[in-house]
Structure 1
Amino acid sequence: MIIYIISDAVGETAQRVVQATLLQYPQLKPTIRTYPFVTTVDELAPIMQDAVAEQAVVATTFVTAKLATWATDFAAQHQLQLVNYMSPLMQVLTTQTGTAPLAQPGMLHTINGDYFKKVAALDFAVAHDDGQNLQTLAKADLLILGVSRTSKTPVSLYLAEQRLKVANIPLLPDNPLDEAVYQLPKEKIVGLTISPQRLQKVRQTRMAALGLTADNYYTDVASIEKELDYAAAIFTKLQITPIDTTERSVEETAALIMQRR
């Protein structure tokens, strides 16, 4: 199976929707071809012809009416399966409000104040990853605590995409927490925990990816349980209820954090 993603901008919207949809079909392993910045029919036509030749499914996010109409007509004439993610909702909004869309590609990435806020949040997350730069910890919107491999960094970066400045600190039994942590309001602190068995598997996978032996204190269940007990004691001292990430994705964990705010 082949999927074409075509856009008059970056194509990020279609990529995300397609990937989210494919999660419902784990048995499918399609080839995905992406064609960004297609702004004219002359550019679009040969791509669509290739899609016909390969019997591909086409997903588009055209905001330019001419391109959306041409692609729809072409697909109908050639029995090509096509979904344009933008047109249906834009048509509904126009009908309901009487307001015409801007039809300007790339609005999601417009350079404006919100864009710079996002960049600042991402920069903050990177600079404050894994316990770095604690002297500016007070500037964080959130602090994430947890033992190694509880998804602190990916959750921090995901929340940074939501414009939150997030720091994260690993919890290590032999490394007392910096006093700056105790100066933060507990509403700003999030704890992450996980089952020992799940954490062992995650760590073993990580060690194997690095070409290292999986049998050491880092992957030993008894050692892991001690780390998690230490983390639980810290969470109790800080008066916070940790989020269990054992069966949760990064997105689900982030959503729970946002609900608590």
Structure 2
Amino acid sequence: MARHHFNLHLVSDATGETLIAASRAVSAQYQGICSLEHVYPMVRSVAQLDKAIAEIEAAPGMVLFTLVDPQHAQRLTEACTRIGAPCLSVLAPIMTLFESYIGPAVKPRPGAQHMLNADYFRRIDALNFTMMHDDGQQSESYEAADVVLMGVSRTSKTPTSIYLANRGVKTANLPFVPNTPLPKSIEKLRNPLVVGLLASPERIVQIRANRLLSLHADPESPYVDRRLVAEEVAQSRKLFEEHGWPTIDVTRRSIEETAAAIIDLHKLHKLKFISAA
């Protein structure tokens, strides 16, 4: 009988985000099979580690870990060998590569990637800015943004903006509404990169219909009229072309893929901006 799920234990001395991201990237390659995640974050003492080991023994499965303390890593590895649970240090191959090139780290630092450094506060600042400039708010201060996203309703402007903010990119987003003039400040922007988000009318209608369904609204609303939606998209595309703003078709893109493309565009934009200064 085919296995449709399995236990996956993720043991970390930090938040576990690295393990979750890495394991899900691999799990996604297996259709019809899902992992039952058991996450053990902030494991920094023997007592915490032994508790995780006890749970692994109770529900055997694969074990991935990020433990920079070598004694903790050895203790977990030995326990997994005894239990018969395959385990892997996700950081070990990367640490080995780093050590071969730049030498060993002076002192192991659990959760060092989450220290309150300048990059951390930059991301918090970006997130605050992005939330304050969502859906056309405070357009008079868009000049302080790194990126301004535009598009018709349901082109994933807000989730993309939040994702970018978590990468430290101050992002504002502005909905395109047919026959509604843009804020005057948009025409004068110099610092931000303005990006137009596009999607196929069919995809937008599908998302809007689901939105109306969740709100128990009229399913026959013009908001989901295929012809009107197609006109909206065409008008937005024309606007982006008139201003020379780069566009991204988000029809078949995930938020992460869209954000990655925007970050690449922003890097080029900054270089041009610096060259022109």
TM-score higher than 0.5 here? yes
Residue 32 of structure 2 corresponds to residue 27 of structure 1: yes
Match of 1:137 in 2: 142
Q: 1:186 to 1:228 in 2, by over 3 A?
A: farther
The more displaced of 74-83 and 166-175 is 74-83
Give distance in 2, aligned partners of 1:245 and 1:160: 18
- Distance 1:3-1:209 versus aligned 2 partners, 3 A rule: farther
**Is the alpha carbon distance of 1:180 and 1:193 closer, same or farther for their aligned partners in structure 2, counting shifts above 3 Å?**
same
Are the equivalent residues in 2 in contact too, given 1:68–1:87 (CA < 8 A)?
no
Change (3 A) 1:147 1:186: farther
Displacement of 1:192: 0.4
The 1:209/1:101 distance shift into structure 2, 3 A limit, reads farther
| Per-residue deviation, 1:189 | 0.6
2:240 equivalent to 1:225: no
Q: Deviations over 1:159-204 (max 9, x none)?
A: 1122111100000013211011111139711000000111111111
1:186–1:240 CA contact under 8 A, matched in 2: no
Displacement of 1:83 in angstroms is: 2.1
Distance of 1:230 and 1:14 partners within structure 2:
44
Per the alignment, residue 189 of structure 1 pairs with: 194
How do 1:96-115 residues align onto structure 2 when only pairs under 5 Å count?
Answer: 96-100=101-105, 102-115=107-120
**Structure 1 residue 81 and structure 2 residue 67: aligned?**
no
Provide Cα deviations, 1:84-107, integer angstroms capped at 9, x if missing partner: 211221123223332225311111
Which residue in the other structure is 1:15 paired with? 20
CA contact (8 A) 2:144 2:191 kept: no
Deviations 1:57-84 (Å, cap 9, x if unpaired)? 2221111111111111221222112122
After superposition, the Cα gap between the structure-2 partners of 1:210 and 1:56, relative to the gap in structure 1 and judged at 3 Å, is farther
TM-score (norm 1): 0.94
Q: For 1:189, give the aligned amino acid.
A: V
Q: Which moved more, 1:41-50 or 1:146-155?
A: 41-50
TM-score (ref. length: structure 2): 0.89
Q: Alignment identity in percent?
A: 33
Kept in 2, the 8 Å contact 1:2–1:31? The answer is yes
Question: Structure 1 stretch 46-55 or stretch 63-72: which is displaced more?
Answer: 46-55
Q: Which residue of 1 aligns with 2:256?
A: 251
Distance (Å, rounded) in 2 between the aligned partners of 1:83 and 1:215: 54
- 2:66 — aligned with what? 61
Q: Please, which moves more after superposition, 136-145 or 199-208?
A: 199-208
- Look up the equivalent residue of 2:146 and give its one-letter code: D
Measured in 2, the distance between the counterparts of 1:146 and 1:66 equals 53
Pick one of 44, 47, 61 that aligns with 1:39: 44
Structure 1 stretches lacking a partner, 5+ long: none
Q: Secondary structure in 2 aligned to 1:83?
A: strand
Match of 1:151 among 147, 156, 160: 156
In structure 2, the partner of 1:212 is: 217
SS in 1 for 2:74: helix
Displacement of 1:36: 0.9
- 8 Å contact kept, 1:140–1:166: yes
**For 1:134-159, what per-residue CA distance to the aligned partner results, in whole angstroms no more than 9, with x for missing partners?**
12111111110000110111111111
1:90 and 2:95 equivalent? yes
Over residues 14-63 of structure 1, what are the superposed CA-to-partner deviations in whole Å (9 max), with x where a residue is unaligned? 11112222221241232212111111222212321321221222221111
Determine whether 1:172 maps to 2:156: no
AA aligned to 2:134 is D
